[in-house]
Structure 1
Amino acid sequence: MFKKTVPILLIIIYLTGFLISFPYIYDNLFGAEKWESIRNIFEYGIMFCSFLVFNALLLKNKYTSVIAVILCLLLSVNFLISASCFFIYHSGFNVGMAISILESNMNEAMSMSYMFILPGILFFVFLGLLLFSVNYLKKNAVAFNTKFVIIALLWLLMPFTFYLKHRYVSNKGGGKMIKSVYYHLSDFTTALKIQEDINTIKKNIPVFNIKKIQSGIENVILIIGESERKQNMSLYGYAKKTTPYTDQQAENMMIFDHAVSPAGITNLSVPLMLSSIHPDEFRYRYDKLSYNIINMANQSGYNSFWLSTQASARGITAIASMSKNKKWVNGYDEVIIPELKKVIQKKEDKFIVLHIMGSHPNPCNRLPANWNSGDLNCYDSSIKYTDYVFKNIFSTLKNTNSVVIYASDHGLKIQGDKLLHIDSKESTQVPFFVWFGDKVPAPYRITGHEVRQTQTTYIYPLIMKYMGLEPPQHYKNEENKYLNLEMKSMEYGKLPE
């Protein structure tokens, strides 16, 4: 009796994974579109049952049984993604997450591996139940006859039917998601296409309509932080002393009190910060990323440098690759300081990007072994360590004609003891400030507090200003459009808290 119930239990588990990956389908069960949600669940249930029969038939032959095992393994990976999103990020899956997975590197994966223990266990449970069910059906329920062959082919025929329906009949959402038993496949194919499109920016060198109106600052330096919440910085009023040195420099800075990021993950927010592409264009006109601040610096007489402690990420690295000088260094963020000192010695106009690890998950891994965290948790301690890096950078630049612009790529939302990358106002609130060296000319030295809400895409015209260029009269930061994890542009005000 137990063996007969395992396939039924497995179907329930599979559909649960589907629903937690697409929570709007579950939510719609209690709304006006409940019949559409029921239809979706029914369709995916049929495809999964067909998948089981298909693999049971494959197992009847020793040569095709290998294919069955591979197909089951891939479906288990599909379930692993669902479980990981639910238990780690408390959200469904989307294209933005697919991009992050494709652009992950081994070091990043290892640093976050502890978070995948429970999803990993569930992966093996699902795989075990799947292989058991397929083997049970092979021995007790299916045979090579017309009926079972037709059932076995449904999971392959239905996606093709959905494609024809979307292509030639109707497509309610305007998208191109084609239903498949591997329900995450569509997001990954979209993400791969995005990566291909972004690579085209390397081949498109634009000509900027720029006008030099005064001498620029000698060293224009942009520091891109990682996953830093302004809510956890004493510079912004946090009770714990997490930014003691930066606090002392406050009178020498322009501090943006209400800065927000244009997206919730690095691979979207940093390209939006560094280029003039609009969020409305991001999904369809990636070639416009070529209109970025690196290319502008190159064409305005500045020598460009990209120094990074972060491993390469294809979309961002495509922009970085346009720098005349680029270097990725291994180690904790402080290893970037000697590289900066070498660059500063050059007597020329320079635009320098420092892309640091900051508080990237897992923040415990961002701290040197001898770092004294005191009574701070790992996240707050990583912010204090970043402040220590700033201390050394500011000391290096104190007696120079240098301006330092700092902003984090995005923030994080706190739920319980978890730090989440999701679409919310809380996870977009970021630090953003400008620091001045002693030799910066007076017309550029504007300090104080900007109390208006400012999107960090303002970095683009701000850098133009510090290079002595005429900035645009109006720029996309004024609209405050947000690019969500579904790769759709939306009004920032409509984000959930």
Structure 2
Amino acid sequence: MLKKIVPILTIISYLTAFLLSFPYIFDNLSGAEKLESIRNIFEYGIMFCSFLVFNALLFKNKYTAIIAVILCLLLSINVLISTSCFFIYDSGFNVGMAISILESNVNEAMSMSYMFILPGILFIVFVGMLLYTVNYLKKNVVTFNFKFGVIALIWLILPFFFFLKHRYISNKGGGKMIKSVYYHLSDFNTALKIQEDINMIKKNVPVFNVKKEQPGIENVILIIGESERKQNMSLYGYSKKTTPYTDQETGNMMIYDHAVSPAGITNLSVPLMLSSIHPDEFRYRYDKLSYNIINLANQIGYNSFWISTQASARGITAIASMSKNKKWVNGYDEVITPELQKVIQKNDNKFIVLHIMGSHPNPCSRLPETWNSEGLDCYDSSIKYTDHVMNDIFKTLKNTNSVVIYASDHGLKIEGDKLLHVDSKESTQVPFFVWFGDKVPSVYRITGHDPKLIQTTYIYPLIMKYMGLESPKHYKNEENKYLNLNMRSMDYEKLEE
């Protein structure tokens, strides 16, 4: 009896993982699209059963059995992705997450490894169940005959029928083969295409039609924070004193009280902040990312610098690579200050981007061993540590003709003890402020609070202004379009809380 239960549990486990990645299918079971949801579950169930029979046939030969094991491991990785997204982010999988995986690096993966313990255990269990089921079918059910041969090919044939249907009948998904037993494959195919398109920006150096109005500020510095919620900053009214040094500088700052990010993950939000590409174009015209602030600074005679404590990521690094000077430094964020001190000694106009680790998950790993958290949890403590780094930067630039623009790439949504990268208004609320050195001309020194809702894509025309250029009369931040994790542009107001 136990032998027969395991194959049933394996099928149920696969379909459960599938629904975890596409929760809307489960939600629609009680709605108007109930029949379509049932059809989707049935189709994937049929393909998975066919997959099991296919591999059971391969198991009958010791050489083809190796192929079966590989196919099963790949499918189990598919399930691992689903369970990881559910247990870590309480979310389904999407193209944005596929981009993050492809652009991840060893250090980043290791820093988040503790979050994958439970999904990893489930992965091992599923692999065992899957191989047991295939072996059981080989010994007790499947034989070499026409019937099982046809069943074994269904999982390979159905995707082509789906392709034809979506291309020539309903044309959903732009004719992509969107249904496969490896149901995350289309997300990764889309992500790979995005990476290829983003690489195009390196080959396209644009000419900007800009007008110089007045001498610019000598040192224009943009600090890109990471995963910092303004809700957890005392600068924005948080009850815990997480930004004591920045709080003292408020009289020398322009603070944007209601700033929001244009996307929920770094790989989307930072390119949108640094370039003039519109969210509506991001999915199809990545070559337009060449119209970015680094190329603009280079054209008008600013010496450009990119200094980062974050490891390279293709989308962002493509823009960073256009800097005349670039450096990735190892260590905690405080190591970036000595690098800045070296740069500002140069006697020329400079545009400097500092990309810091900030509160990137795992926030506990962003803190030096000697750092005193003073009773704060790791996330709040990482914000206080960033404030400590900002204080060093302020001291370095105090007696200079420098402006510092600071904004986080995105925020986070908190559910229990989880810090989530999801599409929500809560996770878009970010700190955004401008700080002025003592020698900044009065024409640029505008301080106070701006209470209006503003998107951090405003950074692009703001930098133009500080470089002495005529800013565009209208810019994309006015529309407040948000690029969601499915790579679709939407009105920010329609985003869930």
Q: TM bucket by the smaller chain? A: over 0.9
User: Alpha-carbon deviations, 1:206-226, whole Å to 9, x = none?
Assistant: 000100000000000000000
Q: Distance between the aligned counterparts of 1:269 and 1:278, measured in 2? A: 11
User: What one-letter code is carried by the residue in structure 2 that aligns with 1:165?
Assistant: K
Partner of 1:144: 144
Q: Distance between the aligned counterparts of 2:44 and 2:7, measured in 1? A: 15
User: Alpha-carbon deviations, 1:47-93, whole Å to 9, x = none?
Assistant: 00000000000000011000000000000000000000110000100
Q: Distance between the aligned counterparts of 2:173 and 2:190, measured in 1? A: 16
**Which region of structure 1 is more displaced relative to structure 2, 257-266 or 177-186?**
177-186
Partner of 1:156: 156
Q: Distance between the aligned counterparts of 1:394 and 1:253, measured in 2? A: 11
Partner of 1:357: 357
Partner of 2:494: 494
TM-score, structure 1 as length reference = 0.99
Q: Secondary structure at the match of 1:352?
A: strand
Q: Distance between the aligned counterparts of 1:414 and 1:290, measured in 2? A: 35
Q: What's the offset of the Cα at 1:27?
A: 1.1
Q: Distance between the aligned counterparts of 1:174 and 1:108, measured in 2? A: 34
Q: Secondary structure at the match of 1:370?
A: coil
User: What are the equivalent positions in structure 2 for 1:342-353 lying under 5 Å apart?
Assistant: 342-353=342-353
Partner of 2:447: 447
Q: 1:88 and 2:80 equivalent?
A: no
TM-score, structure 2 as length reference = 0.99
List runs of 5+ in structure 1 lacking aligned partners.
none
Partner of 1:478: 478
Partner of 1:69: 69
Q: Secondary structure at the match of 1:374?
A: coil
Partner of 1:17: 17
User: What are the equivalent positions in structure 2 for 1:59-458 lying under 5 Å apart?
Assistant: 59-172=59-172, 174=174, 176-458=176-458
Q: Distance between the aligned counterparts of 2:197 and 2:28, measured in 1? A: 34
Q: Secondary structure at the match of 2:25?
A: helix
User: What one-letter code is carried by the residue in structure 1 that aligns with 2:195?
Assistant: Q
Q: What's the offset of the Cα at 1:426?
A: 0.3
User: Alpha-carbon deviations, 1:143-168, whole Å to 9, x = none?
Assistant: 01000010000000011111111122
2:261, 2:409 within 8 Å by CA — same for their partners in 1? yes
2:294, 2:322 within 8 Å by CA — same for their partners in 1? yes
Structure 1 pair 252–177 and aligned structure 2 pair: CA distance change class (3 A): farther
Q: What's the offset of the Cα at 1:344?
A: 0.2
Q: Secondary structure at the match of 1:154?
A: helix
2:167, 2:174 within 8 Å by CA — same for their partners in 1? no
User: What one-letter code is carried by the residue in structure 2 that aligns with 1:358?
Assistant: G
Q: What's the offset of the Cα at 1:169?
A: 2.1
Q: Secondary structure at the match of 2:336?
A: helix
Q: What's the offset of the Cα at 1:9?
A: 1.1
User: Alpha-carbon deviations, 1:112-160, whole Å to 9, x = none?
Assistant: 0010000000000100000000000000000010000100000000111
User: Alpha-carbon deviations, 1:242-296, whole Å to 9, x = none?
Assistant: 0000000000000000000000000000000000000000000000000000000
Q: Distance between the aligned counterparts of 1:366 and 1:169, measured in 2? A: 52
Q: What's the offset of the Cα at 1:174?
A: 4.3
Q: Distance between the aligned counterparts of 2:168 and 2:424, measured in 1? A: 36
2:164, 2:175 within 8 Å by CA — same for their partners in 1? no
Q: Distance between the aligned counterparts of 1:168 and 1:146, measured in 2? A: 31
Q: 1:26 and 2:26 equivalent?
A: yes
Q: What's the offset of the Cα at 1:298?
A: 0.3
List runs of 5+ in structure 2 lacking aligned partners.
none
User: Alpha-carbon deviations, 1:408-428, whole Å to 9, x = none?
Assistant: 000000000110000000000
Q: Distance between the aligned counterparts of 1:7 and 1:43, measured in 2? A: 18
2:166, 2:173 within 8 Å by CA — same for their partners in 1? no
Q: Distance between the aligned counterparts of 2:340 and 2:178, measured in 1? A: 49
Q: What's the offset of the Cα at 1:175?
A: 6.2
Q: Distance between the aligned counterparts of 2:177 and 2:62, measured in 1? A: 35
Q: Secondary structure at the match of 1:400?
A: coil
Structure 1 pair 167–353 and aligned structure 2 pair: CA distance change class (3 A): same
2:163, 2:175 within 8 Å by CA — same for their partners in 1? no
Paired residue total: 497
User: What one-letter code is carried by the residue in structure 2 that aligns with 1:288?
Assistant: K
Q: What's the offset of the Cα at 1:6?
A: 1.1
Q: Distance between the aligned counterparts of 1:493 and 1:242, measured in 2? A: 29
Q: What's the offset of the Cα at 1:311?
A: 0.3
Q: Distance between the aligned counterparts of 1:241 and 1:176, measured in 2? A: 51
Partner of 1:468: 468
Q: Distance between the aligned counterparts of 1:106 and 1:431, measured in 2? A: 29
User: What one-letter code is carried by the residue in structure 2 that aligns with 1:113?
Assistant: S
Q: Secondary structure at the match of 1:196?
A: helix
Q: What's the offset of the Cα at 1:238?
A: 0.4
Q: Distance between the aligned counterparts of 1:472 and 1:49, measured in 2? A: 58
Q: Distance between the aligned counterparts of 2:348 and 2:174, measured in 1? A: 51
User: What one-letter code is carried by the residue in structure 2 that aligns with 1:478?
Assistant: E
Runs of 4+, deviation exceeding 4 Å: none
